Chain A
Amino acid sequence: MADGAAMFEVVKPGLSTTVQDLGRPGFYHLGLPISGAMDRFALIAANRLVGNPDGAAGLEAVFLGPSLKFAADAVVAVTGATMAPKLDGVEQPGWTAFAVSAGQELSFGTLKGGARIYIAIAGGIDVPEIKGSRSTYALGGLGGFEGRALQAGDQVKFAAASGSAKLGVTVPEELRRIPPASGTVLRTMPGLYWHRITEDSQGSFFEDTWKVAPEADRIGYRFKGGKSLDFVPREPPFGAGSDPSNIVDSCYPYGSIQVPGGTEPIVLHRDAVSGGGYFMVGTVISADMDLIGQLQPHQPVRFQSIDMEGALAARREEQSRLGRLAEFLGG
């Protein structure tokens, strides 16, 4: 590794560490999902702490942090999940910008809450922009660092810093949003193919407590433990398939909840499959998508019915949180 070059070398990659920004909109109609940070607020906060634009590329690491050896001085902030950053083994505060010297190694303690950390480096990760974004879409081998999660030995460049980092400033806890282990509510607008299930199942879907299944990733989060859904009887429409949960293959909204076979709901996330042949009961509202990215397997979750008015109010609440963050960091 060249001393002084603006790069770090991956010593340990963690479980799955990818380059992400705020995503690659505009190609969902060709099956290419938006990708980008699952917890967008956390990435934006990390970027603002180190003086980057909101959409600069950072790293997203899930459950287990990477170890990165820096070849040049840098300013770094780590947000999102509760997982202590360490410099040469010395613990650093989370949600805070700190200086890293050339030769130092950034590593992480164990996960104490949430699921995904965001590592912003002043200047942003410098990988080629593809279709307007540096995000990794691993399923399609596109974007980020060579279209994949980081591996040991990778040398990753970062761009020149703006010099406006907020060194030592910590984002107050009341502005952060990490789901408590005791339980999370995901606000959901029923719709799409909601009419396919019986009134009893419409009730139980919202009343039951579900648990995050081990099959939970950037494509979608699966949930288990609630009652199976019963379908309103029908003659299968031509092309749909014989299972009562089948539809003629359609688009899938981000946040939509499909329930194959009526048993385990799957909420699609930033690397969503763009369409398919399973019916959907509704859609998690945009304001709660970040929360899903911070859920760990086995955590209890309830879906709560909300109407459009409520969804738009929640959206404004999230925007105001970003506004309060800007105000706090502006001083």
Chain B
Amino acid sequence: MKTRYSFGGDEHIFVEVDEEMSLEAFFKSLSMTTAIRDAEIDGITEICPANASFQVKFDPDVIAPDDLLGRLKGFEAVAENAEKTIDTRIIEMPVLYNDPWTHETLMRFRERHQDPQSTDLEYAARINGYDSVESFIAAHSGAPWFVSMVGFVAGLPFTYQLVERSRQIEVPKYLRPRTDTPKQTVGYGGCFGCVYSVRGAGGYQMFGITPMPIYDPKGEQSYLKELFLFRPGDLIRFKPIDRETYDATLAEVESGRYQPKIAAAHFSLDAFNADPEGFNAKLLEALDG
């Protein structure tokens, strides 16, 4: 892991903690951004954590760029020795896999896909070595996910599954991005999952849809008073649901009565690495308890 610093024009410093994705890189980035935030450095206007990197926006009229760069580098050693733990929460997200709306959309953009003869789910299952779409969905929903970044568009979580690297799902993005993706599509590109917070363009493979809003510009949901649901460091469990449950959940959402299932959680990277399955089972218990 080699950390690299670069100015992004006169108002940003870009810090790449590692070229490749890993939970170790995410935690080092998280430790650095937390320490930088706690230091309350004059002139920093925004700190944006990403998967294996982060970005600091600053006002060069308040702090000289080279001075800030020097200070940021000073947090690297601390971050390397920091405990790789986080007190967070686990959120259950109901998902109708193989739903009619993403299906209609993926058929509409088939000529932009690597494999026009299959659906996105069939393609992803096959290239990841699963013998059926069902077993692929079981793997996708079987282990929890880490929100390693929030962004692209408002409130969109990038998710990284808590499994050994050999079990990570990997899929390419569409050959050319679609111009349309249904709101609340559960998608996948590279080694990252995502949930599209709004309708719009997108290049990720589409696996299903959640009835649960995660961004609320019109202020319709009581649990979305802060506008966004997700923060980096949140945990997610995707729970497969059938059409009947989807419709019932949607009715609750539309009447403003829906409350997502959220439980407090503690994540320790060392404990996870020592026993991924046992650790995940405990995480999920918090939701089922």
- A residues sitting closer than 8 Å to B (CB atoms) are 25-32, 131, 137, 139-142, 147, 189, 191-192, 194, 237-242, 246-251, 253-256, 273-277, 280, 282-287, 308, 311-312, 315
Complex: A92 Cα to B58 Cα, angstroms: 40
> For residue B18, which residues in chain A have a CB less than 8 angstroms away from its CB?
237, 248
Q: Are B7 and A140 in contact (CB under 8 A)?
A: no
Known contacts A250-B14, A253-B14, A284-B9; A139 and B153 CB within 8 A of each other = yes
Q: Does B53 contact A (CB under 8 A)?
A: yes
Q: Out of B8, B60, B192, B215, which one reaches A140, CB within 8 Å?
A: B215
Q: Name the distance in Å between A17's Cβ and chain B's nearest Cβ.
A: 19
Cβ of B34 within 8 Å of any chain A Cβ, yes or no, is no
- Say yes or no: B173 contacts A30, CB within 8 Å: no
Q: Is the CB of A248 within 8 A of B153?
A: no
Residue contact B16 to A250, C-beta cutoff 8 Å? yes
**Chain A residues closer than 8 Å to B143, beta-carbon distance:** none
By CB atoms of chain B within 10 A, which of A250, A251, A274, A283 has the most? Answer: A251
User: What are 5 residue pairs bridging A and B, where the CB atoms are less than 8 Å apart in the complex?
Assistant: A31-B150, A238-B165, A251-B54, A308-B66, A315-B60
Contact yes or no, A276 B152, CB < 8 A = yes
Q: Which residue of B lies closest to A277 (CB)?
A: B190
Give the distance in Å from the alpha carbon of A194 to the alpha carbon of B172 in the complex: 24
What 1/0 mask marks residues of chain B from 43 to 87 whose CB sits below 8 Å from any chain A CB?
001111111111101001100011000000000000000000000
B52, A248: Cβ atoms closer than 8 Å: yes
Does A283 contact B150, Cβ atoms closer than 8 Å? no
What residues of chain B lie closer than 8 Å to A274, measured between beta carbons? 48, 151-153
Is the CB of B217 closer than 8 A to any CB of chain A? yes
Closest B residue to A315 by CB, please name it: B10
B172 near A28: Cβ-Cβ < 8 Å: no
Chain A: minimal CB distance from B168 (Å): 8
Q: Are B21 and A238 closer than 8 Å at their CB atoms?
A: yes
Contacts known (A31-B156, A275-B151); A251 close to B218, Cβ less than 8 A = no
Contacts of B228 in A (CB 8 A): 30-32
Instruction: Give A246 to B66 CA distance when docked, in angstroms.
Output: 29
CA distance A311 to B206 in the complex (A): 42
- How many residue pairs between the two chains, A and B, have CB atoms under 8 Å in the bound complex? 184
A189: which of B7, B54, B165 is its contact (CB, 8 Å)? B7
**B20/A237 in contact, CB under 8 A:** yes
User: B172 and A147: CB pair below 8 A?
Assistant: no
Number of interface residues of B (CB under 8 A): 58
Closest residue on chain A to residue B46 by CB atoms: A28
Task: State A131–B231 Cα separation when bound (angstroms).
Answer: 17
Query: A139-B198, A255-B9 are contacts. A241–B189 as well, Cβ < 8 Å?
Result: yes
A239 touches B10 (CB 8 A): no
Residues of chain B whose beta carbon lies under 8 Å from any beta carbon of chain A: 6-12, 14, 16, 18-22, 45-55, 57, 60-61, 65-66, 149-156, 158, 165, 170, 172-173, 189-192, 197-198, 200, 215, 217-218, 227-228, 230-232
B191 touches A239 (CB 8 A): yes
Known contacts: A31-B197, A237-B19, A308-B10. The answer to whether A140 contacts B152 by CB under 8 A is: no
Known: A189-B8, A189-B9. 20 other contacts (CB 8 A): A29-B46, A30-B228, A30-B231, A31-B228, A32-B227, A191-B8, A237-B18, A237-B20, A239-B191, A241-B172, A241-B173, A241-B190, A248-B51, A250-B55, A251-B14, A251-B50, A253-B57, A256-B9, A283-B9, A312-B60
Report the minimum CB–CB distance from B202 to chain A (whole Å).
11
| Most chain B CB atoms below 10 A, which of A25, A29, A32, A285 | A29
B-side contacts of A142, CB under 8 Å: 154, 217, 227
Q: Is the CB of B192 within 8 A of A192?
A: no
Q: In whole Å, how far is A42's beta carbon from the nearest beta carbon of chain B?
A: 20
B45 touching A248 by the CB < 8 A rule?
no
- Please tell me if the beta carbons of B50 and A249 are within 8 angstroms of each other in the complex: yes
Q: How far is the CB of A276 from chain B (nearest CB, A)?
A: 6
Contact B152 A275 (CB under 8 A): yes
> Which of B12, B20, B155, B173 interacts with A31 by CB under 8 Å?
B155
Q: Is the CB of A248 within 8 A of B20?
A: yes
Can you name the residue of chain B whose Cβ is closest to the Cβ of A283?
A: B9
The answer on a CB contact under 8 Å between A248 and B21 is yes
Closest chain-B Cβ to A312's Cβ sits at a distance in Å of: 6
